[in-house]
């Protein structure tokens, strides 16, 4: 993974990019780490990746996707 993940602490709301000032929110991305999945956010303007520390429960039996987002089979 050739991008920097910036840790952020959400205080009030997380809508404006702290890097470039883009005002209209973020794309979502997810990264599996062991048994949990991290929920991170990408600025649509400057493509910075932000990690506010959210994790999601895995869903047993769900179909795995590769790092490129394509089916692994
Ligand atoms: Zn940005």
For the chain, domain boundaries: 5-57
| pTM for this predicted structure | 0.77
Name the average pLDDT for the chain. Answer: 87
Question: Ligand 1 centroid vs 3 CA: distance in angstroms?
Answer: 14
Question: Ligand 1 centroid vs 45 CA: distance in angstroms?
Answer: 5
Q: What is the pLDDT of residues 1-17, one digit of tens each?
A: 689 999 999 989 999 99
- Ion ligand 1 neighbours, Cβ < 5 Å: 17, 19-20, 22, 43, 45-46
Nearest to 26, CA basis, from 38, 14, 13: 14
Average confidence (pLDDT) over 45-70 = 81
Could you say which DSSP state residue 69 is in?
S
Average confidence (pLDDT) over 17-31 = 96
- Residue 33's pLDDT is 85
Q: Are strands 5-7 and 27-33 parallel, antiparallel or unpaired?
A: unpaired
% residues pLDDT > 70 (the chain)? 82
Question: Ligand 1 centroid vs 1 CA: distance in angstroms?
Answer: 19
51 with 7: CB under 8 angstroms?
yes
Question: Ligand 1 centroid vs 12 CA: distance in angstroms?
Answer: 18
């Amino acid at each position: 993974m050739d991008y920097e993940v910036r840790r952020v602490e959400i205080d009030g709301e997380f809508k404006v990019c702290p890097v470039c000032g883009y005002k209209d929110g973020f794309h979502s991305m997810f990264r599996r780490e062991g048994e949990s999945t991290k929920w991170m956010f990408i600025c649509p303007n400057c493509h910075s990746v932000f990690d506010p520390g959210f994790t999601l429960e895995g869903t047993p039996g769900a179909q795995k996707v590769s790092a490129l987002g394509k089916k692994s089979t």
